[in-house]
Structure 1
């Protein structure tokens, strides 16, 4: 009896403690559900998108102010800013016409006209027109929601183009019986120019005439077998039975078509130039481009494996072919995000981007000799993009990062002369700069901020960078009143002990520095970019803010193997996608926990989507000593199963054993922690079979894991439902707390209809 008298108080305490934890976590869920709306429109005078009027130096924009939403026009030449549109007046007039109370949320797509005398907007499935300044409103037409083109690898039929007319209108060129023909439009006479086309090796009907109408270029095309991915849509909206479909989708190692440009002289009725032997093992051939004098043309050759990229010139007079620019790398050429070419004065000079000195910079080539005249930009920093080239002044305006010290990812804007002299910083303020140029590139709207510093926006001269007039300076007092906490920036040394690794972390709005918070990493380590936020934001989607509000510290880090730093920094990913910067990430989190004792890293969680889905599963497979819990959404878990361009660029070609070494499928047996896999059954970005194959390998290895299929969904997070399931998983497996159950007798819950991330 004494035994029971001792155990009962303990049971009562545990029951009370569990109930308290359940109540606490339920309150946190209520808070995270409300937090996005709570912070909405709380940043006043923040970011805006300038809408430049066509062929003008004037623009309009909308902004949230203390007095509500405002629309302004700015006349840059006159340094004049004027209120354009009163939204409250619009709502009042529309309410009178509709005979009911209208809210701002019911009105979308407000867009002033170039003449500033009217505007359009969308309400109740119609496009409306409003006159200024009278606000007389009328229905213009039914609203057609714009459709986003679906990402596709489908190749066009090169034999199906219509006849192509010459610039002088005297000839047409076409393909008949797989060969190239021309027809004299005056006489009707036809002439066959090629004779080697046939089934399986035919000439493209997408023919280009030379400017003088005397020559044409077509490509002898060798098609390859199509690779199809098949789908079953289990739960279509418009019928009970499933739907079956297929898409064209190419993966590493698949055969690729080959295209061999050939030049024909119409007057001599013969082929005059071909360079088939110069372009073996093509990944891609860029569209041929004639010079204005019709004597030559160029095209771009990307050799499979992405270690050779050339501009090849074909001389239509002599038949000679040569590599005008020959770019090579022992690892990979980042052709998909760093390639830049600009032909100056019809190719007399060529501006070209290269990482040959270890950093992405611009070079000026002599377009006739193919020799480098000079390196335009240089130094241990990175040219990120070219905004425009002024051929008269021989000046380039570009964005770059890493030159100004501090965060090496902050974008700044510069101008420089073709010969590399006169480099000028146009946006000197410390922060990440967003810039919009006027159509004539005379003016620029510049907004700069940091994740913990709200934006300031001014109008500048695009030539000197000088300030012309202030536009907006953000006020976040209302945001701070909600309890919102600024993200914190942290940097430390990476695996080499020398390189700075940068990241940020989010804290809950009820943050208490005396408490210990478990850490969750949001990861996306795709080598095609860098991904840690640099701009100010009041809310971070993709579960990041939600997890923070539930009581986690959410970290985001750019480790080695991602882009926008040195070539050596980037090359870590080469044939080694599984690395994902984890040695740097783990050091960063450990060092951050030393600096900030409120970070609890005894049971670190990690999650991500797509490449981040591959990364998060790789974390618990290859680094189980550190990462204990993972959620992976729509992951490309085996690089042999994902799209060809992305994976061959980083993992190389031919497909070698390194693909297996980085595969989450082949290494599934390593799983030690907790893992939830999610996939949309209709994912057309990453073959959903990639996730199913991880499941299969885990089952064969007798591993425990969780799996959620999203019927009808594509390459996405799964809406509010997916967000809740991700949050639940970390609450349950990291916090060891039972999340609130949604299953109950309450049938009044609204259906899940919204997505947390619409990005593909």
Structure 2
């Protein structure tokens, strides 16, 4: 055979090129993750469906300017810039970049959010500007004072907002301001905004709603005079400052709640009848389709009874339209999975009363009920209800608890059809007329992909596919992330994932770092694109570790029994499952069972502490960031939902709190907390340290001055993750 020297040379050079390319792949570093943003994805932000269903608007921005761009669905193109910071600066040369917007009813004016300032997790205040798009004029709301939750009335003639614990309404014709309330006072009375615990646990910051006819504003009034104060010291001055705010801990007094309705025509306020019992919650209010009728969701203190009240806003009288009870707790949908149909045709809502969260149709008076979806899977979100076509669009876990897929079903429970095509996680923003939707999709291997669809599911265009993200990823050493499941000693099947080194060798023995959250209704193991934290896992993997995560009992999307099993015993079954998971991982041929660690943040920090203390023969090390260490220290709504009050369940509170197991510490322990944590107070870390010192246990700890629960700001994230990395490498 004649030897082809030229062909051999080409093959050899190609091999060298491929080898060089492989060698060129970069290591993932903390700088590339948290400073350079190398693994971030683009998206389509601030989508606002316009009155004509053919169009939608979206918020775009660059370093100095913001724009609201109008898109034509049929032409698949941007056709106009409705709001442009550069244009606004020709009116007011000091106009700042805006971060949010909303249109009035006829889309001739826009409310622009500037100088945005966050208060707690969901609360904020800002300076709002009114921009008249047709006249090209700009006016500042409330004389430029910072206000919260400025909202157009449905007819577009007024704006309501809160400031200094009071509720106001301004007439857009002249911007004259009317005070709806005047008794608001810091740490005493709040009108139209939520108190701290409602904001955190009921996902509510704005606590007022315009009626559909723009004649009334319903709002909540919180009397937190009897709620005890929590005091945080703010460091940075010669003398630290005290910051005191009302925070009801488990078993302590809550705010007294009232529901009120203000009539814009006569300036009168009516108090709604919400019953004689005052130790209650009102997590939501809605306007029904019946003129002047307000819907009020009422929960008892233990949250095992939920009533839907229908109220006459002229008299304040109410009737109970629907009641749901549970042996544990009624799981409410704080993403507002409740819709009042037009023309008083009833209520569409979700409930897990049959053991899985499904869609129900109730008559307007709540007496008749039809279950629309059924099965051993869960509806996670109501996307849209089209009364004209009698179709309901929803996201569910029918394919797998790890997936989120879009379905449509008839209001009669027939004709269910899956609209999403790819396995992974779908999030949907549907047009007002239910003719189109924008789909945000990702999976383990596909970054955020934004597409435009008809309601039939037909894809019309791709708005963002993040090719640049995929190209950047190709330049880094990234190991596989794989799902797995296993069965515990108690015959419980659990889902998990593992992140492997890029050069994984099944013949080697690897230490394992487990990541846990594990709180009620949560989920970490799902088919979505990795976050920045996941890239830290890739970085650790490439340093010779396997990172694993398991969703224990108590987590969500596998039915009521799986989630509610932890009732009155938080920590018991979750820690048992994490210890079982560590034992399972330790049995794998490529895992060094003597070097298994666990880490978590918040509820995850609670779990990692508890697992190390009670599983001291399984875990070698643990990191707890901002952990709850005793449920008596945490807030009333969250804790009592799952544990009842300490007065009712003292054993449950103490049996699985880390402070009562500190004496069992044997391995390496790192405790991290922010001193300005308004959510899980620094007190949790202090008390655990006291117990560890008392029982003569050596450990490491670090506190971040004035940082809140997220522990961020400036160089904080880099500092934190470098410390976590060093601890893992030195102790595991």
What TM-score, normalized by structure 1, do the two folds share?
A: 0.69
Task: Please state if 1:671 is matched with 2:671.
Answer: no
Q: 1:363 to 1:733 in 2, by over 3 A?
A: same
Task: Please state if 1:563 is matched with 2:563.
Answer: no
Q: Distance in 1 between matches of 2:212 and 2:612?
A: 59
- Mean Cα displacement is larger for which, 600-609 or 279-288? 279-288
**Structure 1: stretches of 5+ with no match in the other structure:** 1-28, 64-70, 85-111, 130-142, 166-171, 179-205, 735-760
Which residue in 2 is equivalent to 1:616? 608
Q: What is the alpha-carbon root mean square deviation over aligned residues?
A: 4.7
Which residue in 2 is equivalent to 1:504? 497
| Residue 152 of structure 1, CA deviation | 8.0
Task: Please state if 1:414 is matched with 2:412.
Answer: no
What does residue range 145-544 of structure 1 map to in structure 2 within 5 Å? 146-151=116-121, 224-234=225-235, 236=236, 239-259=237-257, 274=273, 276-277=275-276, 279=277, 281-284=279-282, 286-287=284-285, 289=287, 292-294=290-292, 297-314=294-311, 321-335=318-332, 337=334, 340-345=337-342, 347-368=344-365, 370-401=366-397, 403-404=398-399, 407-438=400-431, 440-452=433-445, 458-462=451-455, 464-469=456-461, 476=470, 479-494=473-488, 496-497=490-491, 499=493, 501-537=494-530, 539-540=532-533, 543-544=536-537
Which residue in 2 is equivalent to 1:634? 626
Which residue in 2 is equivalent to 1:739? none
SS of equivalent residue, structure 2 residue 485:
strand
Contact kept, 8 Å, 2:484 with 2:496, in 1: the verdict is yes
Q: Distance in 2 between matches of 1:695 and 1:636?
A: 13
| Residue 302 of structure 1, CA deviation | 0.8
| Residue 273 of structure 1, CA deviation | 8.3
| Residue 373 of structure 1, CA deviation | 3.0
The C-alpha deviation readout for 1:2-60, integer Å capped at 9, x for no partner, is xxxxxxxxxxxxxxxxxxxxxxxxxxx986345538996579xx763266465253567
Determine which structure has more spread, i.e. the larger CA radius of gyration. 1
Contact kept, 8 Å, 2:678 with 2:708, in 1: the verdict is yes
The C-alpha deviation readout for 1:102-160, integer Å capped at 9, x for no partner, is xxxxxxxxxx9348998999xxx99699xxxxxxxxxxxxx976433324899999996
| Residue 72 of structure 1, CA deviation | 11
| Residue 321 of structure 1, CA deviation | 4.9
What TM-score, normalized by structure 2, do the two folds share?
A: 0.71
Q: Aligned residue pairs: how many? A: 607
Q: 1:622 to 1:284 in 2, by over 3 A?
A: farther
Q: 1:448 to 1:324 in 2, by over 3 A?
A: same
Q: Distance in 2 between matches of 1:338 and 1:72?
A: 27
Q: Distance in 1 between matches of 2:452 and 2:727?
A: 47
Q: 1:221 to 1:148 in 2, by over 3 A?
A: closer
SS of equivalent residue, structure 1 residue 676:
strand
| Residue 701 of structure 1, CA deviation | 1.6
| Residue 578 of structure 1, CA deviation | 1.1
Q: 1:428 to 1:695 in 2, by over 3 A?
A: same
| Residue 486 of structure 1, CA deviation | 2.5
Which residue in 1 is equivalent to 2:708? 714
| Residue 242 of structure 1, CA deviation | 2.5
Which residue in 1 is equivalent to 2:175? none
Task: Please state if 1:690 is matched with 2:660.
Answer: no
Q: 1:715 to 1:271 in 2, by over 3 A?
A: closer
Q: 1:554 to 1:35 in 2, by over 3 A?
A: farther
Q: Distance in 2 between matches of 1:380 and 1:419?
A: 19
Contact kept, 8 Å, 2:448 with 2:529, in 1: the verdict is yes
Task: Please state if 1:550 is matched with 2:520.
Answer: no
Match of 1:48 among 40, 43, 50: 43
Contact kept, 8 Å, 2:44 with 2:450, in 1: the verdict is no
**Structure 2: stretches of 5+ with no match in the other structure:** 1-25, 62-67, 99-112, 125-147, 149-161, 172-177, 185-206
Contact kept, 8 Å, 2:28 with 2:476, in 1: the verdict is no
Contact kept, 8 Å, 1:614 with 1:635, in 2: the verdict is yes
Contact kept, 8 Å, 1:517 with 1:551, in 2: the verdict is yes
Q: 1:471 to 1:207 in 2, by over 3 A?
A: closer
The C-alpha deviation readout for 1:140-198, integer Å capped at 9, x for no partner, is xxx97643332489999999667999xxxxxx9988999xxxxxxxxxxxxxxxxxxxx
- Mean Cα displacement is larger for which, 687-696 or 225-234? 225-234
Q: 1:580 to 1:439 in 2, by over 3 A?
A: farther
Task: Please state if 1:702 is matched with 2:701.
Answer: no
Contact kept, 8 Å, 1:411 with 1:432, in 2: the verdict is yes
- Mean Cα displacement is larger for which, 304-313 or 724-733? 724-733
Contact kept, 8 Å, 1:519 with 1:555, in 2: the verdict is yes
Q: 1:209 to 1:536 in 2, by over 3 A?
A: closer
SS of equivalent residue, structure 2 residue 685:
helix
Q: 1:212 to 1:173 in 2, by over 3 A?
A: farther
Which residue in 1 is equivalent to 2:145? none
SS of equivalent residue, structure 1 residue 245:
strand
Q: Distance in 1 between matches of 2:85 and 2:388?
A: 37
Contact kept, 8 Å, 1:339 with 1:354, in 2: the verdict is no
Contact kept, 8 Å, 1:164 with 1:174, in 2: the verdict is no
SS of equivalent residue, structure 2 residue 610:
helix
Q: 1:243 to 1:218 in 2, by over 3 A?
A: closer
Q: 1:580 to 1:453 in 2, by over 3 A?
A: farther
Q: Distance in 1 between matches of 2:39 and 2:536?
A: 20
| Residue 532 of structure 1, CA deviation | 2.8
Q: Distance in 1 between matches of 2:71 and 2:214?
A: 47
Contact kept, 8 Å, 1:264 with 1:273, in 2: the verdict is no
SS of equivalent residue, structure 1 residue 640:
helix
Q: Distance in 1 between matches of 2:423 and 2:510?
A: 31
Q: Distance in 1 between matches of 2:221 and 2:243?
A: 32
SS of equivalent residue, structure 2 residue 624:
strand
Q: Distance in 2 between matches of 1:114 and 1:174?
A: 33
Contact kept, 8 Å, 2:260 with 2:270, in 1: the verdict is yes
